[in-house]
Amino acid sequence: MKGTIEVFCYKWKQLKNGEHPLMMRVTKDGKRKYVSLGISMNPDHWDFMKGKPKPNCPNKDLILNIIDKKTYGIQEAIIGISEH
């Protein structure tokens, strides 16, 4: 069975600097695991419907790069686990 990966801004937790952490929800075989991306951002710069930074986000390219690298690593782990 394939797994799914969703990136979201965790709006229920506000950090001291007023930003919210970015998280990944990894679902495989009906089990969910939440993984922090290690970055946070202002929720005004996050598109909650599309699950990605808005075009006016100041660090959009950097954030997308971090998301892509983390997603790729998790996808490799899912494929590696399912092959054994």
What's the pLDDT at 84?
47
Residue 41: give the domain boundaries: 4-83
Q: pTM here?
A: 0.79
Pair 78, 28: CB distance under 8 Å: yes
What tokens does 64 get?
């997308």
Domains of the chain: total: 1
What's the rounded mean pLDDT across residues 66-82? 82
In one-letter notation, the amino acid at residue 55 is: P
What's the pLDDT at 30?
86
Pair 24, 6: CB distance under 8 Å: yes
Convert the pLDDT of each residue in 2-44 to its tens digit: 778 899 999 888 889 989 999 999 988 888 999 999 999 999 9
What's the pLDDT at 66?
94
